[in-house]
Amino acid sequence: MYKIAVAGTGYVGLVSGVSLAEVGHRVTCVDIDEKKINIMKQGISPIYEQDLEGLMQKNYAAGRLTYTTDYQSAYKDADAVFIGVGTPEQPDGSANLSFIATVARQIAETIENDCLIVVKSTVPVGTNDKVEQFIQDFLVHDVKVEVASNPEFLAQGTAVRDTLQAARIIIGTESTWAEERLMKIYEPFKLPIVSVNRRSAEMIKYASNDFLALKISYMNDIANLCELVGADIQDVARGMSYDERIGSKFLNAGIGYGGSCFPKDTTALEYLAKQHGYQLRTVTATINVNKDQKTILYRKACRRLITFSGLKVAVLGLTFKPGTDDLREAPSLDNVPLLLAQGADIYAYDPVGKENFKRKYPAGKHGVGSITYVEQIENALDDANVCFIFTEWGQIKEIEPEAYKKLMRTPLVYDGRNIYSTAAMKEAQVEYYSIGRS
């Protein structure tokens, strides 16, 4: 087993580090946030992720997993350093690589043994070539160092399972030494390994995520046409799913994709193509459809209502998807400001995302509107004039159609995730608007 350091303890870094420890490696997770490190030493995960805390506690107790802010001690004699820091989107659509550069320089100035640097962060094609050269430029000791690309394919809410039971592991290397070391690190996972060169590995990540995003935007585009011609997008998707060339996943129409990957990765790949004088027309269309889709319910409601001023508006679901407290690119962030600007009195419910949302929109007045956070869905619906569903949490799915009629002052529901059948809502005498269904 190998001695491994992991730089960064966000979704990618922490889940990767815990998973590597789970299969037997000795792992040190490194972060600059001392408060965060102390929390993790207590067995508490800084992110909401199923099964993660249990594995953290198990492997910490077994001595296979430690946490530190002291990167020098973690990197100096590591067999491999995994980089899992953020690469946030910049205003022009490019990826911010400053965190990668900081860690790369720290590694170069610290390592004392031959070391494989494994970049798990999503980076533009060709970045790992630059990272390797950057490390060589600042290398202090006479040691062998190479960089490998090892993109992650985890999803928030299922990140642990996606790592330990991945469909495949992608590794990109430029030498037999790097390939063999990385394959040995992943051997205990007993998963299929696809070995390619670095640039191909980098592109696999973008091509995979952008294809899934394209699939979502395509179904949303078709859904909008279904409404106009009287077709039902759920029936259409069911019919499509039997074709093995299409498959059944990512066919659910809704109010667009969000999260840390799809929005950033589509924009980054579009930017990369433009830098090379090429236009990825399908990716550009994906981005544009998704942007419009996020506020489609708000626009529908504006056609139905004169104003939101003075109305109680129930907002069910704040995170970009269920199973996570992540708000990045969530549709709620596009719609809540519009509702507040119109003077809506919002009553918001989310089982795990409220605290994160409060940091952006504290409870109370916001201009002419206001926002109140509730612990129970019923509190949001009670005497409400209109309801928006932005996230398909199980707790929301459990609310029966009759409850909207019983609790709301006006049973007017805009469902961005097609949770309910149109027939059931009609029978319950709820005025119901969804996506792609007339």
DSSP element (H, E) containing 101? helix 98-108
Torsion of CA 22, 206, 193, 216, to 10 degrees: 80
* Catalytic one of 115, 226, 261, 387: 261
Mention every residue, 6+ apart, whose C-beta is less than 8 A from residue 156: 11, 49, 259, 260, 321, 323, 324, 326
d(CA 407, CA 290): 33
Closest CA to 259 of 353, 149, 395: 353
Strand-pairing partners, residue 371, are 346, 364
106-134 burial, b for 16+ CB within 10 Å, e for fewer?
Answer: bbbbbbeeebbbbbbbbbbbebbebbbeb
d(CA 372, CA 338): 16
Check: CB of residue 33 under 8 Å from CB of residue 13. Answer: no
Helices (H) and strands (E) in the chain, counts: 19, 15
261 has catalytic annotation: yes
Strand-pairing partners, residue 346, are 313, 371
Check: CB of residue 435 under 8 Å from CB of residue 220. Answer: yes
Check: CB of residue 120 under 8 Å from CB of residue 16. Answer: yes
Check: CB of residue 24 under 8 Å from CB of residue 1. Answer: yes
**C-alpha pair distances (Å), 246 with each of 145, 157, 242, 249, 351:** 42, 24, 8, 8, 33
Just list the catalytic residues: 261
